[in-house]
Amino acid sequence: MTNPTTPKHAVVIGAGFAGLAAASTLAQAGWRVTVLEKNEMAGGRARVFRAQGFTFDMGPSWYWMPDVFEKYFARFGKKVADYYELQRLDPSYQVIFKGNEAVDIPAAMDELRALFERYEPGSAARLDEFLRQAAYKYEVGINRLVYAPSRSVLEFADPKLLVDMLRMDVLQSMHKHVRRFFKDPRLLELVEFPILFLGATSENTPALYSLMNYADLTLGTWYPKGGMHKIVEGMVTLARELGVEIRCNQEVTEIVVEQGRSTGVRTASGLVAADAVVAGADYHHIEQQVLAPAYRHYDAKYWDTRTMAPSSLLFYLGVNRRLDKLRHHNLFFDEDFTLHAHEIYEAPQWPSRPLFYASVPSQTDPTVAPEGQENLFLLIPVAPNLPDTDDTREHYYEMLMDKLERHCGHPIRAHVVFKRSYAHRDFLADYHSFKGNAYGLANTLKQTAILKPTLKSKKVSNLYFTGQLTVPGPGVPPSLISGQVVASEVLKEN
């Protein structure tokens, strides 16, 4: 038993965004907190590595929803600017449509309206209305719904909230919703692309998620100077300022349970006692491998029938020349958007004609590559649980190089001086990621709010879960929120 005069002790498993947010929130409330991280550094999927003068962010590269980060740091009396410097990107990103048609998406709304109008006369006014509705969804969804723990339907029993939810089109598909406003296929691809990473086709995604378009087109795309890992560095600094202890290279192999309550966790270094345990590592792995069978809430069939968000095939490339015609963010929609989505979600297979994303942060930030060279990050969203071989990776590397060289109009392959790939087997090895997924559970209607895996164990009274396999869902801002939400539940109940 903990001495009443000493602080309660929480163990947080995993130092990703959710784990760090949970740890800092608990520490602020007076708890002693120890974070146990399997890997050699904090950050989870947002780790960083350096090679030959290049600095590569390993995972997230888009900085959206800046208000979520400001709100997070503000709860500790801090500002984002206390830890890293933000720059708004303009253009926000580039889209390459079929026929190698390249279009910059401007940051300024008047320029964006003009762009829509060029593609489809009358669409600028419809964009205004589309974004007005999306702004409402963002205000209610991000500032209210996603901060709910989603442990009971009674959380949503407020009549005003029920009306709000109906106004947010939770029962209408994104596919149907966007086609009320736009007809041009290029505009449809532009407004539907965030859905590709939410984990379902637009037909199966609630129109609520047009809030992502508000985040994209209105709030803008930002970049933390030095790279996305600067966010992690800021969160780690804050956590340590609050007294959090972060231990890396400490994989948790057992959650010790006595009489329905966890007394701590076990690593190769021994037992770490705890008054509460927050699992920020892969939910499936913790529940199905780390917990004893008697304490598992979900069975294997439950997990196998979940709809997963995509995995990714990634390439980290150092290129010893400048790359023409590329921006910081580049979306290659030069193939059939619907076919690629079908091959991720409906008939899982390696894509026959992949869409892909190219990030060149050295276009914005000279610190991430040697002078005159480029840091090139490539990502193909792919189905989870696919066979992942070196030959497969190389096949797609050559395919992407063909496309990039055609778009840029000059050789790239011969100038690659550093190359590393990353896909399913790496997600499994580094994160115990269920089915090698990269983004967590898909945000389908049947996997929203109370229909997601619960953040509180129903068999271990002081065990909680946070991160992209529970509420509110995948992505950096939702993970940041998830950690705060679960910490609030711990504080209420312990």
Look up residue 211 and give its two tokens. 């809030």
Tell which CATH classification among 3.50.50.60, 3.30.70.100, 3.40.190.80, 3.40.47.10 matches the domain 9-85+226-306+442-493: 3.50.50.60
Fold held by 308-431: Guanine Nucleotide Dissociation Inhibitor; domain 2 (3.30.519)
Each residue's pLDDT tens digit in the chain (494 positions)?
Answer: 445 579 999 999 999 999 999 999 999 999 999 999 999 999 999 999 999 999 999 999 999 999 999 999 999 999 999 999 999 999 999 999 999 999 999 999 999 999 999 999 999 999 999 999 999 999 988 887 889 899 988 777 677 666 666 677 877 999 999 999 999 999 999 999 987 766 678 898 888 889 999 999 999 999 999 999 999 999 999 999 999 999 999 999 999 999 999 999 999 999 999 999 999 999 999 999 999 999 999 999 999 999 999 999 999 999 999 999 999 999 999 999 889 988 998 899 999 999 999 999 999 999 999 999 999 999 999 999 999 999 999 999 999 999 999 999 999 999 999 999 999 999 999 999 999 999 999 888 899 889 999 999 999 999 999 999 999 999 999 999 999 999 999 999 99
pLDDT for the residue numbered 444: 85
Do 9-85+226-306+442-493 and 308-431 share a fold? no
- Which tokens go with 236? 């780690």
pLDDT value of position 302: 97
DSSP code of residue 330: E
Q: Are 323 and 291 in contact (CB under 8 A)?
A: no
Report the 3 state secondary structure along the chain.
CCCCCCCCEEEEECCCHHHHHHHHHHHHCCCEEEEECCCCCCCHHHCEEEECCEEEECCCCCECCHHHHHHHHHCCCCCHHHCCCEEECCCCEEEEEHHHEEEEECCCHHHHHHHHHHHCCCHHHHHHHHHHHHHHHHHHHHHCHHHCCCCCHHHHCCHHHHHHHHHCCCCCEHHHHHCCCCCCHHHHHHHHHHHHHCCCCHHHCEHHHHHHHHHHHHHCCEEECCCCHHHHHHHHHHHHHCCCEEECCCCCCEEEEECCEEEEEEECCEEEECCEEEECCCHHHHHHHHCCHHHCCCCHHHHHCCCECCEEEEEEEEECCCCCCCCCEEEEECCCHHHHHHHHHCCCCCCCCCCEEEECHHHCCHHHCCCCCEEEEEEEEECCCCCCCHHHHHHHHHHHHHHHHHHHCCCCHHHEEEEEEECHHHHHHHHCCHHHCCCCECCCHHHCHHHCCCCECCCCCCEEECCCCCCCCCCHHHHHHHHHHHHHHHHHHC
Q: Are 231 and 224 in contact (CB under 8 A)?
A: yes
Q: Residue 343 and residue 339: Cα distance in Å, rounded?
A: 6
Quote the pLDDT of residue 2.
46
Contact status, residue 3 vs residue 275, Cβ threshold 8 Å: no
pTM of the model: 0.96
According to DSSP, residue 126 is labeled H
The reported pLDDT for the residue numbered 200 is: 73
For the chain, the structural domain boundaries read 9-85+226-306+442-493, 112-218, 308-431
Give the number of other CB atoms < 10 A from CB of residue 252: 23
